[in-house]
Structure 1
Amino acid sequence: MPLTFRKSFRILPGVRLNVNRHSWSLTTGGHRGPRRTQSSTGRRTISMDLPGPFGWRRTRSTRRR
């Protein structure tokens, strides 16, 4: 089983820096609204928790040149 590394730092209220072996990402937003994540690899994700066991997520990836 491979070893993984993932660490999350809270920079400001509602802003979080996530770091892993291959990239880093910045997440803004919170519990009562949409969460936006921008990754160093070009991936952008918008997600939102909905009432009950539901959730919504939209991901866009851009190619790096």
Structure 2
Amino acid sequence: MPLTFRKSFRILPGVRLNINKRSWSITTGGSSGPRHTHSSTGRRTTSMDLPGPFGWRRTRSAGRR
């Protein structure tokens, strides 16, 4: 099993800075409502928790289709 590095910091209420081995990202939004993540690699993700065991996610990558 490979070792991984990941760290998350809360910089403001509702704003998190996430750092891993290859990139960093900013996540905005709280536990209720949608969350938006913008990564240094150009990936943008919008996700939302739905009632029960359901969730919704939409991911877009910059420069790729």
TM-score by length of 1: 0.94
Task: Tell me the percent identity.
Answer: 83
Letter in 2 for 1:12: L
Cα distance in 1, alignment partners of residues 31 and 20 from structure 2: 23
Cα distance in 2, alignment partners of residues 15 and 9 from structure 1: 9
Count of residues in correspondence between the two structures:
64
Compute the displacement of 1:19 (Å).
0.1
Cα distance in 1, alignment partners of residues 2 and 33 from structure 2: 35
**Which 4+ residue blocks in structure 1 deviate beyond 2 angstroms?**
none
Cα distance in 1, alignment partners of residues 41 and 63 from structure 2: 8
Unaligned runs of at least 5 residues, structure 2: none
TM-score by length of 2: 0.94
**1:33 aligned to 2:33?**
yes
